[in-house]
Structure 1
Amino acid sequence: MKQTQLLLLPILLFIVGSMACKTDNLIPVDQPTMSNPASPDPNLITDSSSNRLRVRVGSSTFTATLLSNPTVTAFKARLPLTLSMKELNGNEKFADLPNGLPTNATNPGTIQAGDLMLYGSSTLVLFYESFRTSYSYTKLGRIDNPAGLAAALGRGSVTVSFTLE
């Protein structure tokens, strides 16, 4: 009996020791990595934890910074996403998402050109003009430099693509 215990003790210690060294941050072998993050290859799978968004409207591309909240996490899980966005009020483009996202709506008081927000739980809104509002939205992020955004979006419906950088 003691001989069996003496044999099982080293095996048990090895198993417990190897579990203590486990890390959840390992990159799977089949997942590509970037050797030079300063110039990422667009063919590589992007890290879904990124809070940098690329917004493409026709031949114009804008970058946006996303917030860190449950709505953004759910939004990023749907990317890449290409939407036909409709004009509303001469200051925004909107598109209805097929399924709702979690919300935490508040009234921002003033909308800024470049704000990316969610109205209700399933209407994505990209604002291209600044104005005061009495409506409540869940903030997703904003275009880093909205110069030229209004011109790129134009007056009618437009196709907009959203991808993580």
Structure 2
Amino acid sequence: MIFPLLFFSASFASCDKDGSAPGNPNVANNNNNNPNPTGRQMRIKIGTRTFTAILYGNATATAFKALLPLTLNMSELNGNEKFFDLAASLLVNAANPGTIQTGDLMLYGSKTLVLFYKSFPTSYNYTKLGRIQDVAGLTAALGSGNVKITFEVE
């Protein structure tokens, strides 16, 4: 009977009070694999187009939301994504999603914001932030080069 009680209390000691893993302040236990958005909407403006995205219910998405509004000059990479290196690191809980979907908004490492505009399999790890609900016209709006994108709370 004492063993389960010790195991249970030890499991609480494995995380800091703020939800980060001990020893690494940039790693969060933020349920990165939650496939269902929480209903937190944000607007993503690209030129004359506006897209609605849903932020996931994790610590990284919450920290990103606190930075909004942001207008970023995002760079083209690999013909399938736009990226921008944020000034400060965010908490991470990176995992391999297996397949990137058009409209995914993720964090690569602790500082690189990535917006994907094509679906493809990946071997890289990302922390999920959210995704664009209706991706119709996203690829055309982003174009083939660098682009200015505004992220704001709806």
Match of 2:113 in 1: 124
Aligned residues: 117
Given residue 99 of structure 1, which amino acid in structure 2 is its aligned partner? Answer: A
C-alpha deviation, 1:149, in angstroms: 0.4
- TM-score computed with the length of structure 1 as normaliser: 0.70
Deviations 1:3-62 (A, max 9, x none): xxxxxxxxxxxxxxxxxxxxxxxxxxxxxxxxxxxxxxxxxxxxxx97101000000000
Give the Cα separation in 1 of the matches to 2:133 and 2:39: 15
Alignment match, 1:87? 76
Work out the CA distance in 2 between the residues paired with 1:104 and 1:150: 27
Q: What's the counterpart of residue 64 of structure 2?
A: 75
Q: CA RMSD in A?
A: 1.2
Q: Which 4+ runs in 1 deviate beyond 3 A?
A: none
The question of whether the paired residues in 1 share the 8 Å contact of 2:39 and 2:54 is answered with: no
Q: 1:155 aligns with which of 140, 144, 147?
A: 144
Q: Which runs of 5+ in 1 are unaligned?
A: 1-48
- Residue 56 of structure 1: aligned partner: 45
1:99 corresponds to: 88
- TM (normalized to structure 2)? 0.74
Higher CA-based Rg: 1
Q: Deviations over 1:74-126 (max 9, x none)?
A: 10110000100000000000000000100000000000000000000000000
